[in-house]
Amino acid sequence: MGDASIVAERSAGPATAEGRTPVSLAALLANLGPLLALLLAMAFFASRSDRFLTGANLSLVIQQSMVVGVLAIGQTLIILTAGIDLSCGAIMALGGVVMARLAVINGVHPILAIALGVLTGAAFGALNGVLVTNIQLPPFIVTLGTLNIAFAITHIYSQNQTITNVPAALTFFGNTFRVGSTAITYGTVLMFVLFGLTWFVLRYTAFGRHVYAVGNNPEAVRLAGININLLLLLVYTAAGLLYGIASLLSVARTGVGDPNAGQTDNLASITAVVLGGTSLFGGRGKVLGTLVGVLIVGVFRNGLQLIGVESVYQVLVTGILVILAVTVDQFARRRQQ
Amino acid sequence: MSDTTSNPTPVLEARGLVKRYGHVTALDGADFALYPSEILAIIGDNGAGKSTLIKALSGAITPDEGEILLDGQSVRFRGPLDARRHGIETVYQDLAVAPALDIAENIFLGREIRLAGPLGFAFRMLDKRRMRREASDHMRDLNIGIRSMRQAVETLSGGQRQGVAVARAAAFARHVVIMDEPTAALGVKESHMVLGLIRQVRDRGLPVILISHNMPQVFDVADRVHIQRLGKRVAVVEPRNFKMSDAVAIMTGAMAGEAISRG
Ligand SMILES: Nc1ncnc2c1ncn2[C@@H]1O[C@H](COP(=O)(O)OP(=O)(O)OP(=O)(O)O)[C@@H](O)[C@H]1O
Ligand SMILES: [Mg+2]
C-alpha cells in the first residue's frame, strides 16, 4: 500500500545531536533557572562575606535545611500528583513528640520509640491518602483538616510540654563526622540519600512515571488500567513516612521533642518545591530541583544573616522568588499548549 | 479486506445489546459484527448510540441485555482493562496521553517493561532503552516519522500525537482496534495522515472500528459502514456500491434501512 506510507510532518525546528528537539527559553529557564538562581545567590554572598564559602558555613546551611528538605521530598511527590499537603509540618511535630515521649516518659526502647514515631507520620499520610481517594475530597481541604487534627493531638498528647533529655539514639542524626576540617551532620547525609532514592524511584520505576502521569492526565492513567486510588494512597503514605523521618531529624537537630515544631514548615516546603521548578498544577518537576529550592532558601537565610541584613528581608526575598518561579512555570506551560 | 464473505465468523460480534440510562434507551437491541481485516465505520445521528455501542464493546460499560462474542465465544468484560486483556485496544477521542511524558513512556503507560535481572527485580528498574527501541519499531511500522522517542508528547503536532495513540493501540491489540472520532480535531493534512495509519493497521491484519461524522472520510476509508439509528443497527452498506446520500438518508430516517447485509 504505497499511498498509506505517509510520513508525519516534522515538528518545529531541527533535532539536536542527541535527537532532542530544542526547547523554548521559558522551558530552559524552568529547567536550569533554580540552579542558576542558587549559584548567583552563592556568588553574591561570597563576594560580600569571606565566611560564606567556608566549609563550616556551607555545612551549616545544609544542616539548617535538612528538616524542611526531607519534608519537601514528600511535598514534591504530592504536588507532582497535582495535590498539595498543608499538614506536613504538623505531622512532623506529632511524630517527634511521640518518639520523645515514648522514649523519655514511657521508657520504651529508643529504637522502638523512633520506629513508632516514624510510623505515626506514615499513618497520618495514609489517612490523608484515604480521604483524598476514597472520599474524593480536594487535597487542600483534607490536609487543612489533618493539619489541625495533628496539631491538636500533638498538644493534647504532650500536654504542651517540650520533652527534654531524650536518649542518645534520638539525637544520633544531629551528630557530626569530619571530612578534613569540615564537620558534617549525619542527618544531612540521610537527607541526601533520601533525595537520591526518590530521584531514582521517580525516574526509573513504573510507579514514579505513574506519579507524573496522574498529575498530567488522570483520565489517561485510569484508561491505561492503572489503579489511581492505590497509586495516590501510596504517594500520601510515602510522604507521611518521610515526614516521620523528618520528625527524627528535627528531634536530633534540636535535642528535644517540641510540640510547637514545624509550624511554618508546610509553607516552607511548598516554597522549596516551587522554587525548584515543580509545577503546582502537577505532572511536571524534579525532586532534585526541590533540593536546589531548599538550598536557595537556606543560602538566603544564612547569607543575609552573615551580611547583617534583618531577617524580615529573607521573607521578602523568598516571596519574590516564589512569585518569579510560578511565573516562569506559567509561561513554560503556556508555551507547551 | 473487502471480501469478507469468505470468512463467516466475526472477530467481534454483538447481539441484541440494550443499555438504558434512566428513561433514555441508548441501545435498543443493537446488533453488531466486525469481520477480520476490515475497516468498519459506525455512522449515525447524534444520540444514535454509537459511543454507547463502542463503550460496551471496549468494556467501558456493561450492557443491560444482550451478548458479546469474541471469535465466536461469548465474553463479558469487567472493565476496559479486561477488554484490553482480550486484545481489544481503544483510541479515545481525547487521546488519553500524558503530555509531559515522552513517546515511549506513553506507549508503554501501564505496561512498562522492567529490566531483566536483579536491577529490575529488586529495584523495579525500568528497561527504558528497550521501551524506546520497541516504541520506535512500532512507530516505524506505521511510518510515523518521529526520530526521538524521548520527545515529550506535548511537543508533537496534533497528527503526530494521534499517531502515538494509534501506535500504542496497534502495538498491543491482538484482535481489534477501536477509534472514536480520531480525526475530529485535526486539519485536512493531518486527517489524511491518520486515515493512512488506519489503513495500515487494517493491512497488518487487525480489523478497525471507526466512529466518524465525516461522511467523505468514512466513504473513503471504510470497507463497510454500520448505520446506527435510535439505538439499533438499521443497515450495513458497502461504500463501493452505495451512494453516500442514501446512507445519510437512512441515518436520518428519511429512507428505510435496506436489508442488512449480514445477520
Ligand atoms: N451516561 C449517560 N447517562 C445518561 N444518558 C446517556 C449516557 N450516555 C449516553 N446517554 C444517552 O444515550 C443516548 C445515546 O448516546 P451516545 O453517546 O451513545 O450517542 P452517540 O451516537 O455517540 O452520539 P454523538 O454523535 O452525539 O456522539 C443519548 O440520548 C444520550 O443522551
Ligand atoms: Mg458519541
pLDDT for the residue A10: 34
pLDDT range class, residue A271, cuts 50, 70, 90: very high
pLDDT digits (tens, 9 = 90+) for B185-226: 788 888 888 898 899 999 989 999 999 999 999 999 999 999
Q: Torsion over CA of B198, B199, B202 and B208, rounded to 10 degrees?
A: 40
Closest CA to A164 of A260, A259, A255, A262: A255
- At residue A15, does pLDDT exceed 50? no
Bridge-based pairing state of the strands A182-185 and B39-44: unpaired
Residue type, A131: L
Shortest CA gap B131–chain A (Å): 12
Instruction: Give the C-alpha separation, A262 to A272, whole Å.
Output: 15
In this structure, the number of other CB atoms found within 10 A of the CB of residue B188 comes to 8
The class that CATH gives domain A25-336 is mainly alpha
Query: Chain A neighbours among B 174-203 (CB < 8 Å)?
Result: 189, 192-193, 196-197, 199-200, 203
Ligand 1: which residue has its CA nearest to atom 16? B49
Instruction: Give the C-alpha separation, A300 to A45, whole Å.
Output: 8
pLDDT for the residue B95: 65
- At residue B2, does pLDDT exceed 80? no
Q: What is the mean pLDDT of residues B60-68?
A: 94
pLDDT digits (tens, 9 = 90+) for A21-35: 445 676 676 678 889
Burial class (CB in 10 A: 0-12, 13-18, 19+), A178: exposed
Enter the ipTM. Answer: 0.82
Task: Name the residue with higher pLDDT: A40 or A11.
Answer: A40
Q: Is A17 on the interface with B (CB under 8 A)?
A: no
Lowest mean pLDDT among A251-255, B86-90, B140-144: B140-144
Radius of gyration of chain A (CA): 22
In this structure, the number of other CB atoms found within 10 A of the CB of residue B253 comes to 12
pLDDT for the residue A210: 97
Do residues B225 and B41 make contact, with C-beta atoms less than 8 angstroms apart? yes
Instruction: Give the C-alpha separation, A10 to A19, whole Å.
Output: 13
The answer to whether A8 contacts B192, with C-beta atoms less than 8 Å apart, is: no
pLDDT for the residue A23: 56
pLDDT for the residue B141: 79
Shortest CA gap B192–chain A (Å): 9
Task: Name the residue with higher pLDDT: B19 or B3.
Answer: B19
pLDDT digits (tens, 9 = 90+) for A273-294: 999 999 999 999 999 999 999 9
How far, in Å, is the centroid of ligand 1 from the Cα of B49? 6
The answer to whether A206 contacts B126, with C-beta atoms less than 8 Å apart, is: yes
pLDDT for the residue A12: 35
Q: Mean pLDDT highest for which of A143-157, A263-277, B148-162? A: A143-157
- Using CA coordinates, name the residue in chain B closest to A4: B196
B103 half-sphere exposure, CB direction, 13 A CA radius? 29
pLDDT range class, residue B7, cuts 50, 70, 90: low
pLDDT for the residue B118: 87
With a Cβ cut-off of 6 Å, ligand 1 is lined by B 21, 24, 26, 44, 46-52
Q: What is the mean pLDDT of residues A103-125?
A: 97
- At residue A296, does pLDDT exceed 90? yes
- At residue A16, does pLDDT exceed 90? no
Lowest mean pLDDT among A139-143, A181-185, B78-82, B173-177: B78-82
Average pLDDT, chain A: 89
Measure CA A53 to chain center. 25
Q: Is B140 on the interface with A (CB under 8 A)?
A: no
- Determine the atom of ligand 1 nearest the C-alpha atom of B25: 12
Chain A residues in contact with B110 (beta carbon < 8 A):
210, 221, 224-226
Q: What is the mean pLDDT of residues A230-236?
A: 97
pLDDT for the residue A322: 83
3-class state of residue B66 by DSSP: strand
- Determine the atom of ligand 1 nearest the C-alpha atom of B49: 18
Q: What is the mean pLDDT of residues B170-180?
A: 91
Please give the helix or strand (H or E) that residue A265 lies within, else none: helix A265-275
Instruction: Give the C-alpha separation, B182 to B165, whole Å.
Output: 10
